[in-house]
Amino acid sequence: MTGAPSADILLLRKMHPLIERSLGGRFTIHRLDEAPDGDALLREVGPRIRGLCAGGTVDAALMERLPALELIANFGVGYDAVDAGAAAARNVIVTNTPDVLTEEVADLAIGLVLATIRRLPQADRYLREGHWPKAPFPLTASLRGRRVGILGLGRIGRAIARRLEGFDVAIDYFGRSRQSGVDYTYHDTPVSLARAVHVLIVVAPGGPETKGLVGAEVLEALGPEGILVNVARGSVVDEAALIAALRAGTIHGAGLDVFENEPHVPADLAALENTVLLPHVGSASEHTRNAMAQLVVDNILSWFEGRGPITPVAETPWRPRA
């Protein structure tokens, strides 16, 4: 791992140990979160920063303070917190970590579907609180005979669908366009999808285009037997509309791994018994986080060794020079 040109890299916050360990011996690292005065640090080193390691918000204002910036390496497949359009306008490449977390998140999504429908956390609590000797746990809903909809049939959505095939359920999907080579039933609106299914799994990317995509109309279409599961971004679901729908019985229940204002979860949502709530752990296994961290490192090394980025995002494509 010798021979890579030295460069100044900015870390916005504490990153995965593998990232910090791998980059520390190869580059000059600056830690914004550890600086007594962040503005002073940016004034001092901002003009020298060529790479940025991100796991949070990177907006145009920050990029403006980093005139030599070449690469933003995002820790995560979702990069809605990075202004990729502003990066493209500055000829800055943005990378993310696709594929390496696909299977883990898909596994979690299936677990969350089952936990929500069969009320597994509630059953666990029922036993621990000593209620079982008094009466059996109440009967629950079932995945049997249900139709499942996937809102966003990308890498993770397809992986979820493959797993669902083993449960012998019908599968529908919504996306920006119909996909070739897919036998699942396509819907051209989220409302149409929700109306046709009993379980709606949200896997759409975050960002302005999908903000509040699952709102009151979609929840109404999902109906009183409907289950909503979100493993995408909290912004895709209108949280206030969801709380109202859960309270009113407009839908049966919800399983959520993501929220609008993480890590803060509304008390009104946490108080509802017809929910299963997780602290954004979709990719949070040691195996997968190590793989994500390694891909961040590999993108940075590849870029500064002159080989280009490995996984540039769509807004900042890269082609090798002829």
**Separation CA 187–CA 152 (nearest Å):** 11
User: Quick one: tokens of 45?
Assistant: 């080193």
Q: What is the DSSP annotation of 224-252?
A: TT-EEEE-S-GGGB-HHHHHHHHHHTSSS
**Separation CA 68–CA 65 (nearest Å):** 9
The answer to whether 183 and 144 have CB atoms below 8 angstroms apart is no
Q: Using CA of residue 103, residue 106, residue 112, residue 113, what is the dihedral sign?
A: negative
Q: Which residues, at least 6 apart from 64, have a Cβ–Cβ distance to it below 8 Å?
A: none
**Separation CA 217–CA 190 (nearest Å):** 9
- H helices of 28-181, in order, are 38-45, 60-64, 84-89, 102-117, 120-128, 155-165
CA max distance for the chain: 76
**Separation CA 234–CA 309 (nearest Å):** 29
The answer to whether 32 and 41 have CB atoms below 8 angstroms apart is yes
Q: Please identify every residue annotated as catalytic.
A: 233, 262, 280
The answer to whether 39 and 59 have CB atoms below 8 angstroms apart is no
